[in-house]
Chain A
Amino acid sequence: MKSKRSMRKDVMREGAKYKIERFAKDTLTHIFLIAVAVTCIFPLLWMVGSSLKTQQTVFSDMSIIPRNPVWSNFYHAWIQGGFGMYFFNSVLYTVTVVIGIVLVSSLAAYAFSRLQFPGKNIIFYMFLAAMMIPLPGSFVPLYVLMTKLHLVNTRIGYILCMINVGLSFSIYLLKTFFDKMPPALEDAARIDGCSKLGIWWNVALPLARPAIAVIIIFNSLNVWNEYILATLIFSSKSLMPLQRGLMIFQGTYITQYPLLMAGMTITVLPIILVYLFMQKHIIKGITAGAIVG
Chain B
Amino acid sequence: MRTKATIENYLFVLPAVLIFSIFYIYPFYKVFTLSLCQWDGIANFNFAENFVGLRNFKELLFQDRVWWQSITQAGYITLIALTFQNAVALALAMACDRDIKGGNIYRVIFYLPPVLSEVVVGLVWRWIYDGNYGLLNHWLYNLGLGHLVRDWLSDPKTAITCVATIHCWKGFGWGFIIFLAGLQTIPRQLYEAARVDGANSWQMFKSVTIPLMIPVFILVSILTILGTMQVFVLILSMTGGGPGYHTEVPVTRILASMIGSSRFGYACSQGIIFGVILLAVSFIQIRLSRRMNKA
A-side interface residues toward B, CB under 8 Å?
Answer: 26, 29-30, 32-33, 36-37, 39-41, 43-44, 46-47, 50, 58-59, 62, 103-105, 107-108, 110-112, 115-118, 123, 126-127, 130, 133-145, 147, 160-161, 163-164, 167-168, 171, 196, 200, 221, 224-225, 227-228, 243, 246-247, 250, 257, 260-261, 264, 267-268, 271-272, 275-276, 279, 282-283, 286-287, 290-291, 293
Asked if B26 is at the interface (CB within 8 A of a chain A CB), the reply is: yes
A121 → B minimal CB distance (Å): 12
Residues of B within 8 A of A46 (CB): 124, 128, 135
A101 → B minimal CB distance (Å): 10
B229 → A minimal CB distance (Å): 8
Interface string of B197-237 (1 = CB under 8 A from A): 00000000000000000000001100100100010110011
Residues of A within 8 A of B219 (CB): 290-291
Asked if B244 is at the interface (CB within 8 A of a chain A CB), the reply is: no
* Among all A-B residue pairs, the 10 with the closest Cβ atoms: A137-B271, A111-B12, A225-B117, A108-B16, A141-B30, A164-B23, A141-B27, A137-B254, A115-B9, A117-B9
Given that A43-B125, A136-B254, A138-B271 are contacting pairs, would A268 and B111 also be in contact in the complex, using a CB cutoff of 8 Å? no
13 additional A-B residue pairs with CB within 8 Å, beyond A135-B275, A167-B20: A30-B101, A32-B91, A37-B106, A43-B121, A112-B13, A116-B9, A123-B13, A137-B31, A161-B23, A225-B119, A243-B120, A261-B124, A286-B111
Output the nearest chain B residue to A132 by Cβ-Cβ distance.
Answer: B282
Q: Is there contact, CB below 8 Å, between B116 and A271? A: yes
The docked-state distance in angstroms from the alpha carbon of A82 to that of B113 is: 25
The docked-state distance in angstroms from the alpha carbon of A228 to that of B83 is: 28
Output the nearest chain B residue to A268 by Cβ-Cβ distance.
Answer: B120
Output the nearest chain A residue to B99 by Cβ-Cβ distance.
Answer: A26
Q: Is there contact, CB below 8 Å, between A33 and B13? A: no
Interchain Cβ contacts under 8 Å between A and B, 16 examples: A33-B100, A37-B110, A40-B173, A43-B125, A62-B138, A112-B13, A116-B9, A117-B10, A133-B275, A136-B275, A144-B41, A161-B23, A196-B9, A228-B255, A247-B237, A275-B112
The docked-state distance in angstroms from the alpha carbon of A108 to that of B100 is: 44
Q: Is there contact, CB below 8 Å, between B124 and A117? A: no
Q: Is there contact, CB below 8 Å, between B19 and A104? A: yes
Asked if B109 is at the interface (CB within 8 A of a chain A CB), the reply is: yes
Residues of B within 8 A of A139 (CB): 258
Residue from A39, A40, A41, A171 having most chain B Cβ neighbours under 10 A: A40
Given that A40-B110, A107-B13 are contacting pairs, would A227 and B118 also be in contact in the complex, using a CB cutoff of 8 Å? yes
A73 → B minimal CB distance (Å): 15
Residues of B within 8 A of A37 (CB): 106, 109-110
Contacting residue for A279 out of B98, B111, B138, CB 8 A: B111
Q: For the side of the interface on B, what is the size category?
A: 35 or more
B-side interface residues toward A, CB under 8 Å?
Answer: 6, 8-10, 12-13, 15-17, 19-20, 22-28, 30-31, 34, 41, 45, 88, 91-92, 95-96, 98, 100-101, 106-113, 115-121, 123-125, 127-128, 133, 135, 138, 169, 173-174, 177-178, 181, 219-220, 223, 226, 230, 232-233, 236-237, 250-251, 254-255, 258, 264, 267-268, 270-271, 274-275, 278-279, 282
Residues of A within 8 A of B282 (CB): 134
The docked-state distance in angstroms from the alpha carbon of A62 to that of B140 is: 13
Q: Is there contact, CB below 8 Å, between B6 and A33? A: no
Residue from B25, B173, B177 having most chain A Cβ neighbours under 10 A: B177
Residues of A within 8 A of B169 (CB): 39-40
Q: Is there contact, CB below 8 Å, between B12 and A110? A: yes
Residue from B91, B123, B254, B279 having most chain A Cβ neighbours under 10 A: B123
The docked-state distance in angstroms from the alpha carbon of A168 to that of B220 is: 21
A201 → B minimal CB distance (Å): 12
Contacting residue for A135 out of B10, B12, B28, B108, CB 8 A: B28
Residue from A133, A135, A246, A293 having most chain B Cβ neighbours under 10 A: A135
Q: Is there contact, CB below 8 Å, between B268 and A107? A: no
A120 → B minimal CB distance (Å): 8
Given that A40-B113, A47-B124, A196-B8 are contacting pairs, would A142 and B16 also be in contact in the complex, using a CB cutoff of 8 Å? no
Residues of B within 8 A of A135 (CB): 28, 31, 271, 275
Q: Is there contact, CB below 8 Å, between B177 and A283? A: yes
Residues of B within 8 A of A137 (CB): 31, 251, 254, 258, 267-268, 270-271, 274-275
Residues of A within 8 A of B19 (CB): 104, 160, 163-164, 167
Contacting residue for B115 out of A41, A275, A290, CB 8 A: A275
Residues of B within 8 A of A39 (CB): 169
Output the nearest chain A residue to B226 by Cβ-Cβ distance.
Answer: A134
Residues of B within 8 A of A44 (CB): 112, 116, 124
Given that A36-B92, A135-B271, A137-B31 are contacting pairs, would A221 and B115 also be in contact in the complex, using a CB cutoff of 8 Å? yes
B69 → A minimal CB distance (Å): 17
